Chain A
Amino acid sequence: MSGTILALAILAAQFLLACAMVCNLWRMLRGPRAQDRVLAFDAFYVNGMLLLVVFGIRSGTTLYFEAALIVALLGFVSTAALAKFLMRGEVIE
């Protein structure tokens, strides 16, 4: 009983997160300007990380937490670097 509920709900959550990622991808491709793309990329990696966590619930291993943490760290650093690049034209001055 609880397994069925869980499986269905995880499937629904995965579907919603995948739709959210498609929306973010559309905004990333459309633009219209560079800061919109970076903002969409920021939301995109957060949604991808959440998809990993939900996949971890589904598959039943806690290994995906480390993967999610690495995605979050790399995404934060890359968004900060992109914002710095947009502001100054250089990442490291």
Chain B
Amino acid sequence: MTAPPLWAAWLVVALAVFGAALAMVGALGLLRMRSFYDRAHPATLAATMGATSIVLASLLHFSFAAGRLLPKAFLVAVFIPLVSPVTTMLLARAALARDRSQAFGARPPQTPEDAEWQRKAALLAEAQAEAARRPVEESS
């Protein structure tokens, strides 16, 4: 195992620290955002750019150490950004279905967020009923 050149070490360092910082920013966003749908956005930071840059740093490090390209690391670098949108989509759809079924009074509110959703859904249902009752007169 020969020591990698200095510029390669700097590249590895920059990529690794950038990826880790991106993961940290995503985690802070996960703490800071208010609703679930806001939180779904920062959670993807670590999975896409963070994972890509850290795995790329690892790939560069081991490729320079071995003197040849190691294709093994590409598996992780391709797999994680590929499946992360799938899980986020599944989760967002599940959350949407849960919000819809809970918003229409299926059960009592459990959090302030729940109560807010139920209030909005009640307002919407009221407005829709009002619109259905009103006779159509403005169409000439």
| A24 B87 Cβ-Cβ under 8 A | no
User: Is there contact, CB below 8 Å, between A87 and B94?
Assistant: yes
Residues in chain A near residue B98, CB distance under 8 A: 33-35, 86-87
| B13 with A5: CB separation less than 8 A | yes
Is there an interface contact between A13 and B16, defined as CB atoms closer than 8 Å?
yes
Per-residue interface assignment for chain A, residues 29 to 51, with 1 indicating a CB less than 8 Å from any chain B CB and 0 otherwise:
00011111011101100110110
**Count class of interface residues, chain B:** 35 or more
Q: Is the CB of A32 within 8 A of B30?
A: no
A91 within 8 A of B: no
Chain A 65-83 against B: per-residue CB contact (8 Å), 1 yes, 0 no? Answer: 1001100110010011011
B10 & A5 in contact (Cβ 8 Å cutoff): yes
Chain A interface residue count, CB cutoff 8 Å, equals 53
- CB-CB contacts below 8 Å: B4-36 with A: 4-6, 8-10, 12-13, 16-17, 19-21, 23-24, 26-28, 30-31, 36
Q: What A residues does B136 contact at CB under 8 A?
A: none
- Contact check: which of B26, B31, B39, B54 meets A54 at CB < 8 Å? B54
Please name all residues of chain A whose beta carbon is closer than 8 Å to the beta carbon of B27 when the two chains form the complex: 19-24, 27, 43, 47
Q: Does B20 lie within 8 Å of A13, measured CB to CB?
A: yes
Q: Which residues of B contact A57 (CB under 8 A)?
A: 12, 16, 57-58, 61-62
Q: Is the CB of A9 within 8 A of B76?
A: no
Inter-chain contact A26/B80, CB cutoff 8 Å: no
Q: Which residues of A contact B65 (CB under 8 A)?
A: 60
Q: Which residues of A contact B97 (CB under 8 A)?
A: 87
Q: With A53-B54, A60-B1, A72-B76 as given contacts, are A46 and B113 in contact (CB-CB < 8 Å)?
A: no
Confirm or deny: B129 has a beta carbon within 8 angstroms of a beta carbon on chain A.
no
User: Could you list some 14 contacts between A and B, CB below 8 A?
Assistant: A2-B6, A17-B20, A20-B24, A26-B31, A27-B39, A32-B113, A36-B36, A43-B30, A43-B46, A50-B46, A54-B16, A65-B58, A65-B75, A84-B94
| Additional 4 contacts, C-beta under 8 A, given A32-B113, A69-B75 | A2-B8, A35-B98, A65-B58, A72-B79
